[in-house]
Amino acid sequence: MTSEILAAPPVALGTWAWGDSGEAGDGYFGSRLTASGLREVVDKAQSNGFTLWDTAAVYGMGRSETVLAQALKGHARGEYRLSTKFTPQIAGDGDDPVADMLERSLDRLGTDHVDLYWIHNPADVARWTPHLIPLLRSGRIRHVGVSNHDMKEIALADQILGEAGFRVEAVQNHYSLLYRSSERAGILDHCRAHGVRFFSYMVLEQGALTGRYSPARPMPEGSSRAAVYNGILPRLQTLTDRLRAIGDDRDASAADVATAWAIAKGTTPIVGVTNAGHIDGLVRARGIELADDEIAELEALADATGVDTRGSWEHGM
Ligand SMILES: NC(=O)c1ccc[n+]([C@@H]2O[C@H](COP(=O)([O-])OP(=O)(O)OC[C@H]3O[C@@H](n4cnc5c(N)ncnc54)[C@H](OP(=O)(O)O)[C@@H]3O)[C@@H](O)[C@H]2O)c1
């Protein structure tokens, strides 16, 4: 079965940080985002062919979806694709909490369908996966994927969907130079072998791999990402210096190289863009071809940092 998701652009755009914007304040990321700035991000992304937008009901408790819809106003629905998620931890207690959460997402997103719908995590695969089937049949969701699932959980979801003639079409896991558990667990190979698209999230480690942040210039004080990353920034210096040097040879930045690495590994990065300049970076990243020895060197430097950036919401792969 071919899937239009397999033909998606080489990079998807992530909007978790957008849930922090405006009145919601500086929650997880501590970023100051404005409606006009995000509108610029959308316009520039769309005109450069980056048309797949990833969000979740839980990002800013709906705010990311609302802000994304506002920023996309003026673009025809056929020109972009929407990816959002069912998060088991915020499920309601109605007859069909998946359908209910989807309806609220559709409402905030101002659309009658989602192109790619995810079960956000494997809290209870057997319980939640079957709820996707009627939504696929009705066309409210066009394709489905699973996020933060290990091999066994992917197989179980695939079996449940398979019995109804559908399948897991995409996997979305944390995957960066610093966090390669999905590769080590064979999930990347599995996806390649079965024509399942692997979306890598946090390829920039929420900014820690961009070289923008350092002990002298830490992440925004009081934000959740600062609590996770500021303490390990000194150990990342050699890696980010090397990313920057490889980028210098190609008129690109450290972030562009970190993104190009994830593309070179056969994955589709979901990059959490927060300003229009980041789109220029994605244009550069999709044109960068890293040599095998550069990839090996970056991975060795990443391993040498000895850091573990597994998210608090993630389990081992
Ligand atoms: N399924 C899941 O459980 C899950 C979990 C996490 C994330 N995700 C998805 O994956 C997306 C990406 O993850 P993320 O946003 O957490 O982290 P990320 O993409 O690793 O990093 C995003 C941060 O990096 C900076 N940045 C972005 N693009 C840049 C560029 N081209 N050059 C330099 N800096 C750049 C921005 O920081 P500044 O604003 O400070 O510059 C931004 O907030 C999320 O938005 C979400 O859609 C999914």
User: Is the pTM for the entire model greater than 0.85?
Assistant: yes
Measured CA to CA, the distance from residue 266 to residue 163 in angstroms comes to: 29
Ligand 1 centroid to Cα of residue 206, in Å, is: 5
What's the sign of the alpha-carbon dihedral 187, 192, 194, 195?
positive
pLDDT for 39-78, tens place per residue? Answer: 999 999 999 999 999 999 999 999 999 999 999 999 999 9
All structural domains of the chain, each given as residue ranges with its CATH number in brackets, are: 4-305 (3.20.20.100)
Atom 10 of ligand 1 has which residue's CA nearest to it? Answer: 201
Cβ atoms of 81 and 115 closer than 8 Å:
yes
Return the best residue to mutate from 90, 210, 261 for the ligand 1 pocket (most ligand atoms within 8 A of CB): 210
pLDDT for 274-299, tens place per residue? Answer: 999 999 999 999 999 999 999 999 99
Reply yes or no on whether the pLDDT at 303 is more than 80.
yes
Region 175-185: mean pLDDT is 98
pLDDT for 96-128, tens place per residue? Answer: 999 999 999 999 999 999 999 999 999 999 999
Ligand 1 centroid to Cα of residue 96, in Å, is: 31
Ligand 1 atom at minimum distance from 120 CA: 1
